[in-house]
Amino acid sequence: MKKKSQSSSKQGAEKNRGNSDHTLNLHHQRLCQALSLGLSKSYGDKGRKWHSSDIEIHRLVLRSIDAFLDCISAEPLQHPFVKELIGDMVGALEGILQFTNEATLSLVSDVAVKMVDIVPTSVMDSYVIDLVRPLATLLTSHNLQATFSCATALELIISNLSSKIEGKVWDIMKQTNTVIHIVNNIRGFSNRTTPIENYLKMVSLLSKILQRWQPSRFLVWSDAKLMEVLEVISLDPDISVKFAVLQLYSALALCGNGAQKLLENAETVLPMMVQCMDSSNSISVRLEGFKLAQCLAMNEQGCSKMMASCCDPITNAIIDGMRSWGTLPGRIPKDTMFLLTGACRLALITCWAGEHHKCFWKLGIDQVLLKLLLKDFHKIYPSQHYLEKIVTAEHGLRENYLVVLRPCIWDILGGLASHCLKDFNPSMHGEEFRMDFLIICACLAFVDSIRQFGQSDISHIFQYESATRTVLMMIYSPSSYIGSRTIFFLSEILKPNGKEYLKRLLAKLSQPRTKLAMLDTLQTVIDLMSLACYSGLCQYRDYIIGRQGINTLVALIRWCLTNNVHMRRASVAPHLHSSVLEKNCCWDHTEDWDGDDMALLFSLWGLSELMHKTHPDMFSSQVDCSETQLVSLLQGICSDTSAPGPRWYAAYILSYFGHYGFPSKMGKRIGNVLNDKEFADLVFIVTNEEPLTVHSVILKARCPLLLPRSVDEFFVRQDGEKGERSRKEVCLKSDKIDRKVLLKVLEFVYSGHLQAGEELVEKLRRIARHCDLQHLLQILSKKHPRWGTPFPTFDLWFALELAGHHLSDIALVAEGADIIDWMCNTCSMTDPHMHVHRVILLSSSSVYFHGLFRSGMQESHSETIKAPVSWEALVKVVKWFYSDELPKPISGCLWDNLDAEEKLNELFPYVELCWLAEYWCLGDDLHEYCTRVVISHLDSAQRLSVKLIQIAASLHQKKLVEVIANYMAPLYNHLCKSGELDEVADELVDMVRAASVRHFQEGGHSHT
Ligand SMILES: [Zn+2]
Ligand SMILES: [Zn+2]
């Protein structure tokens, strides 16, 4: 019986198939006939071209395509006809779309939508390009239905576009001004001429474009009117309207500048975002809210701006999202899992300090995290003995419940631990046993990682990385509660085999190494973090030191520096970046504490703990290199590394050797002028001892509280004049402060660091506290650097602002006074100028200024100096004088959207500065930096090379001219033909020609 029924249903299916095959054949034939009416005989290798202008034929073809598509819609890939006909069908559509006849417009655009919807991307891919142009052009049509359909078709095309043709499609959209047309359509909302669906369609198409193509974002966020209109649209109470705008915002926030704009309008954008996150909405709406928040919080600045106004509701929404699955029995549905992942990802904002930490604790984040780690969380009872707790947690973790979320959970926990307050105690917010379990779970995962000993597969390595990092954060947490509990539990868990693991770890780390592949570097980072964890446990410290641990770490630090070992965490940890966020642009990540120096940071971390926590004499007997060598190595890290973390740890280790502070290039420069007496304007008189001469401008910028008016406790004021220049004198109250200590403090103020024996530390701390030198105070206390603390920069720029103006003793005047209405706040000079300080100019060790100020000639008393460069260049070089940093040219979207002239204006000052660096003898660093800036921008400004080579030649920049000539070599033929070289001096043209001959001899190609 059963068999029979089966076979009969099979027969039925075949019969159906037979029927549908018949219909398909029919439609296929009709379509072929119709197409042949309008297509030319042959058209290249891509199919035939449409030539018919007969509306009736258009209609016939469109209806045939429509019917054919309906026929194949169930299984489009099954039919060989599709591949065979797709070229002709696209050709016909393209032709009819271009015809833009009102009678067929709606029909043709609808058919286009159906086609891109039904025909699979794999077949469509090579043809979509032909459709993009006519579709994009029609976005300006007055036929609302047609524009709607065209937008729908484009949206479908863009959503499924393969990255191979991404560039070509963007080119077409640029040529057809697609983004501008869409923007104009949305701006029309203020007149409300069409139904809201049409605007929403445009908004949603625009978000797809913004997501994919970075350059499109500028056109949107820089359009103030559009941003206003979007805000108005978002006020619509309908949540689907808000959702569409939210999608656009999250795409826009992928650009750092776009996010900035959104945060400027925080009062409308954020409430809308928060409203969408609410648990009463559908999961996709909530997720979109999370996504926007995640984009806005891409760096610490963004996060704190966002949290400033919406801390409570955002943390609430996150916790809601993380709890959302709690009520569901059995397997977690897919979309709930998405929500959970989205909420956890956003919860990673715990990696930054801020008010949200308090909110998270208040809302019971510990309980939420524990529930995500241990499935049978509810069976845990609080009063277990600690050994039982460990066993319970071990069993719980082994169930591998929600294991994909673990890296995220560890990171959230690590973030919470590293930004706790000192007096944090879990009993303030919940119950201690929860925190205990969280700590135990992380410690177990960490021990699991060292047990595996690098044998783990790639899917585990990221989980181990985050678990290890979290344990490190907990051991060194500012909260002594978390720190001591972690050390306690970790010691217990390590008891049986801890030493054995450590032995293997040390052996592995001491192996010689060269440049490693990415995964091996990551494993080294994990090993270094593990060693830093071990170094936090006193029972293992002697063992590490006995096994050459200090030497191993010093060798690893050298390895990082000589091999340029760089790795940014976000680029390796998969849970930190989704494919969407990968497309971001214009974000500044320079503040990230570990930056791309993870390996260096954790080597220094372990080393600092070993050195500070062991016997002071230990160093000389343990280390191969001399103290001087190590000190200069660490000072180098302080002044040359870009990430704050390694710099802080290097400074922290330096304090072990009695070097307190933050060495930097600028500090080195200013430190040299402490001994300058000529331009000093303040004298500290000490009875029976040599007076101390200082420069008020430096004190004003670096330590204003040390100026006499503020510290009457230390000084007796006694204004008087002495010598040629007017100088103020103050007497030291020797019972309050001694000269030696004051000199040390001045050393710090001038150079950013000081060297002092143990006996002075207490006195130094007293003044540091009095003068509010917080960073010095911290380093004198030899306290562990706190994760995320910015590294103190040496910047005298403050001295240039109004506060320092009255201390200025010279003005730099720019050339080419073509700035209209230039005004100075302090004087009546009309040429653009800046009031600066002789002593700072001298600190650059420029022979030019030394000659000028000390020659005794008339110029040495002059109140102004001509700076023969433009105002823009002058501002930049003054910034360099006062901070040792030159402002960077604008970059990202902003640079890409400048026209050729603006780009030239942006680069011109750097060429001028190349010249000025030579003329004023400002050193090779500045010259090299400027040259590099110009060269690195040649690529994005090809046409500029003709102008730049002339400017560089006129300023005698031989090296730069050579580089630009080489750059122009492949363009030479093209430039000759276009006549662009006509106005260039013959000798420069000859140089380019010679370079181009060399280029072709070496097998290069010609560019156009
Ligand atoms: Zn951008
Ligand atoms: Zn002035």
- Is pLDDT at 442 greater than 70 in this prediction? yes
Ligand nearest the Cα of residue 890 is: 1
Question: How many whole angstroms from 927 Cα to the centroid of ligand 2?
Answer: 28
Ligand nearest the Cα of residue 222 is: 1
Ligand nearest the Cα of residue 260 is: 1
pLDDT (tens digit per residue) in 793-845:
898 888 887 666 678 888 999 987 667 777 888 888 888 899 999 899 988 88
Question: How many whole angstroms from 118 Cα to the centroid of ligand 2?
Answer: 70
Q: What is the spatial distance between Cα 1001 and Cα 1008, in angstroms, rounded to a whole number?
A: 18
Among the ranges given (12-26, 212-226, 426-440, 776-790), the one the predictor scored with the smallest mean pLDDT: 12-26
Ligand nearest the Cα of residue 814 is: 2
Ligand nearest the Cα of residue 800 is: 2
Ligand nearest the Cα of residue 863 is: 2
Q: In whole angstroms, how far apart are CA 435 and each of 323, 325, 346, 378?
A: 18, 22, 21, 15
Question: How many whole angstroms from 118 Cα to the centroid of ligand 1?
Answer: 34
Largest distance between two CA atoms of the chain = 122
Question: How many whole angstroms from 829 Cα to the centroid of ligand 2?
Answer: 6
pLDDT of residue 463: 86
pLDDT of residue 223: 94
Question: How many whole angstroms from 522 Cα to the centroid of ligand 1?
Answer: 29
pLDDT of residue 332: 80
Helices (H), 374-429: 386-398, 406-418
Question: How many whole angstroms from 877 Cα to the centroid of ligand 2?
Answer: 17
Question: How many whole angstroms from 306 Cα to the centroid of ligand 1?
Answer: 19
> How many other β-carbons are positioned within 10 Å of the β-carbon of residue 22?
10
439 within 8 A of 489, measured Cβ to Cβ: yes
pLDDT of residue 726: 63
Question: How many whole angstroms from 815 Cα to the centroid of ligand 2?
Answer: 15
Question: How many whole angstroms from 256 Cα to the centroid of ligand 1?
Answer: 6
Question: How many whole angstroms from 833 Cα to the centroid of ligand 2?
Answer: 6
CB pairs under 8 A, 24+ apart, for 173-176?
Answer: 173/132, 173/136, 173/209, 173/213, 173/216, 175/133, 176/133, 176/136, 176/137
Residue 976 or residue 431, greater confidence = 976
Among the ranges given (136-140, 680-684, 727-731), the one the predictor scored with the smallest mean pLDDT: 727-731
Among the ranges given (289-303, 377-391, 485-499, 946-960), the one the predictor scored with the smallest mean pLDDT: 377-391
Question: How many whole angstroms from 826 Cα to the centroid of ligand 2?
Answer: 5
Phi, psi (5° rounding) for residue 864? -135, 155
Among the ranges given (133-142, 396-405, 510-519, 794-803), the one the predictor scored with the smallest mean pLDDT: 794-803
**Contacts of 265 by beta carbon, 8 Å cutoff, 6+ apart:** 227, 231
Question: What's CA 238's distance to the chain center, in Å?
Answer: 34
Residue matched to tokens 């000993």:
453
- Is pLDDT at 3 greater than 50 in this prediction? no
Question: How many whole angstroms from 240 Cα to the centroid of ligand 1?
Answer: 27
pLDDT of residue 45: 54
Question: How many whole angstroms from 834 Cα to the centroid of ligand 2?
Answer: 6
Ligand nearest the Cα of residue 808 is: 2
Q: In whole angstroms, how far apart are CA 948 and each of 273, 926, 934, 939, 956?
A: 47, 19, 9, 13, 12
Question: How many whole angstroms from 587 Cα to the centroid of ligand 1?
Answer: 7
Q: Which DSSP string corresponds to 190-221?
A: GGT-S-HHHHHHHHHHHHHHHHH-THHHHHHH
Q: Sorting pLDDT into bands at 50, 70 and 90, what band is 912? A: very high
For the chain, how big is the Rg over CA atoms in Å?
Answer: 35
Question: How many whole angstroms from 836 Cα to the centroid of ligand 2?
Answer: 10
Question: What's CA 488's distance to the chain center, in Å?
Answer: 37
Ligand nearest the Cα of residue 218 is: 1
Question: How many whole angstroms from 258 Cα to the centroid of ligand 1?
Answer: 7
| Helix%, strand%, coil% for the chain, nearest 5 | 70, 5, 30
Residue matched to tokens 């220094």:
604
Tokens of 778: 């911290």
pLDDT (tens digit per residue) in 555-583:
999 999 999 899 888 877 777 766 656 78
Question: How many whole angstroms from 805 Cα to the centroid of ligand 2?
Answer: 9
pLDDT of residue 530: 97
Question: How many whole angstroms from 252 Cα to the centroid of ligand 1?
Answer: 9
Question: How many whole angstroms from 702 Cα to the centroid of ligand 2?
Answer: 23
pLDDT (tens digit per residue) in 605-654:
999 999 888 766 666 666 778 889 999 999 999 999 989 999 999 999 99
Residue 819 or residue 955, greater confidence = 955
Instruction: Give burial (CB, 10 Å; 0-12/13-18/19+) of 268.
Output: middle
Ligand nearest the Cα of residue 261 is: 1
Question: How many whole angstroms from 659 Cα to the centroid of ligand 1?
Answer: 42
Phi, psi (5° rounding) for residue 836? -125, -170
Of 369, 371, 383, 264, the C-alpha closest to 328 is: 371
pLDDT (tens digit per residue) in 927-939:
999 999 998 888 7
Question: How many whole angstroms from 803 Cα to the centroid of ligand 2?
Answer: 14
Question: How many whole angstroms from 538 Cα to the centroid of ligand 1?
Answer: 49
Per-residue b or e along 837-862, where b marks 16 or more CB atoms closer than 10 Å to that residue's CB: bbbbbbbbebeebeebbeeeeeeeee
Question: How many whole angstroms from 495 Cα to the centroid of ligand 1?
Answer: 52
Question: How many whole angstroms from 490 Cα to the centroid of ligand 1?
Answer: 45
Residue 789 Ramachandran class (φ > 0 left, ψ -120 to 50 alpha, else beta)? beta
pLDDT of residue 44: 53
Tokens of 600: 């260096």
Question: How many whole angstroms from 228 Cα to the centroid of ligand 1?
Answer: 20
Q: Sorting pLDDT into bands at 50, 70 and 90, what band is 513? A: confident
Q: What is the spatial distance between Cα 141 and Cα 102, in angstroms, rounded to a whole number?
A: 10
Question: How many whole angstroms from 176 Cα to the centroid of ligand 1?
Answer: 21
Among the ranges given (291-305, 335-349, 393-407), the one the predictor scored with the smallest mean pLDDT: 393-407
Q: Which residues pair with 660 in a beta bridge?
A: 754
Q: Which residues pair with 412 in a beta bridge?
A: none
- Is pLDDT at 696 greater than 70 in this prediction? yes
Question: How many whole angstroms from 246 Cα to the centroid of ligand 1?
Answer: 18
Ligand nearest the Cα of residue 587 is: 1
Tokens of 100: 């833009």
- Is pLDDT at 457 greater than 90 in this prediction? no
Residue 866 or residue 720, greater confidence = 866
Alpha-carbon torsion (439, 445, 449, 450), positive or negative: positive
927 within 8 A of 954, measured Cβ to Cβ: no
pLDDT of residue 970: 86
Residue matched to tokens 């100088």:
727
Alpha-carbon torsion (209, 215, 219, 220), positive or negative: positive
Residue matched to tokens 């050729």:
900
Is 585 strand, coil or helix?
Answer: strand
Question: How many whole angstroms from 337 Cα to the centroid of ligand 2?
Answer: 63
- Is pLDDT at 509 greater than 80 in this prediction? yes
Helices (H), 100-252: 102-118, 121-124, 128-137, 144-159, 166-175, 178-187, 196-212, 215-221, 224-234, 239-252
pLDDT of residue 847: 85
Pairing of β 682-685 and β 728-732: parallel
Which amino acid is located at 485 in the chain?
R
Question: How many whole angstroms from 263 Cα to the centroid of ligand 1?
Answer: 15
493 within 8 A of 446, measured Cβ to Cβ: no
Question: How many whole angstroms from 898 Cα to the centroid of ligand 1?
Answer: 13
Ligand nearest the Cα of residue 811 is: 2
Q: Between vectors from CA 147 to CA 146 and to CA 148, what angle results, nearest 5°?
A: 90
- Percent above pLDDT 70 for the chain: 91
Q: Which DSSP string corresponds to 457-501?
A: -HHHHHHHHHHHHHHHHHHT-SSHHHHHHHHHHHHHHHTTTHHHH
Question: How many whole angstroms from 245 Cα to the centroid of ligand 1?
Answer: 19
Question: How many whole angstroms from 832 Cα to the centroid of ligand 2?
Answer: 8
Ligand nearest the Cα of residue 257 is: 1
503 within 8 A of 548, measured Cβ to Cβ: no
pLDDT (tens digit per residue) in 740-776:
999 999 999 999 999 999 999 999 999 999 889 999 9
pLDDT of residue 515: 77
Question: How many whole angstroms from 892 Cα to the centroid of ligand 1?
Answer: 5
pLDDT of residue 328: 57
Among the ranges given (172-176, 735-739, 853-857), the one the predictor scored with the smallest mean pLDDT: 853-857
Question: How many whole angstroms from 813 Cα to the centroid of ligand 2?
Answer: 9
Question: How many whole angstroms from 586 Cα to the centroid of ligand 1?
Answer: 4
Question: How many whole angstroms from 345 Cα to the centroid of ligand 1?
Answer: 23
Ligand nearest the Cα of residue 824 is: 2
Q: Sorting pLDDT into bands at 50, 70 and 90, what band is 296? A: very high
pLDDT of residue 244: 94
Question: How many whole angstroms from 697 Cα to the centroid of ligand 2?
Answer: 17
Ligand nearest the Cα of residue 832 is: 2
Of 615, 608, 597, 599, the C-alpha closest to 655 is: 608
Q: In whole angstroms, how far apart are CA 745 and each of 341, 706, 773?
A: 51, 10, 10
CB-based neighbours (< 5 A) of ligand 2, an ion:
824, 826-827
Q: What is the spatial distance between Cα 798 and Cα 698, in angstroms, rounded to a whole number?
A: 10
Question: How many whole angstroms from 225 Cα to the centroid of ligand 1?
Answer: 19
Question: How many whole angstroms from 812 Cα to the centroid of ligand 2?
Answer: 9
User: Quick one: average pLDDT of 296-311?
Assistant: 92
User: Quick one: average pLDDT of 966-970?
Assistant: 87
Q: What is the DSSP letter of 763?
A: H
Question: How many whole angstroms from 831 Cα to the centroid of ligand 2?
Answer: 9
Question: How many whole angstroms from 156 Cα to the centroid of ligand 1?
Answer: 24
- Is pLDDT at 723 greater than 50 in this prediction? no
**Contacts of 716 by beta carbon, 8 Å cutoff, 6+ apart:** 730, 731, 732, 733
pLDDT (tens digit per residue) in 466-484:
999 999 999 999 999 999 9
Ligand nearest the Cα of residue 830 is: 2
Residue 728 or residue 214, greater confidence = 214
Residue 96 or residue 48, greater confidence = 96
Ligand nearest the Cα of residue 834 is: 2
Mean pLDDT of the residues in the chain? 87
Question: How many whole angstroms from 895 Cα to the centroid of ligand 1?
Answer: 9
Q: In whole angstroms, how far apart are CA 911 and each of 340, 870, 900, 950, 957?
A: 53, 11, 16, 11, 8
Question: What pTM did the predictor assign?
Answer: 0.89
pLDDT of residue 721: 44
Of 694, 697, 675, 682, the C-alpha closest to 808 is: 697
pLDDT of residue 2: 41
Q: Sorting pLDDT into bands at 50, 70 and 90, what band is 5? A: very low
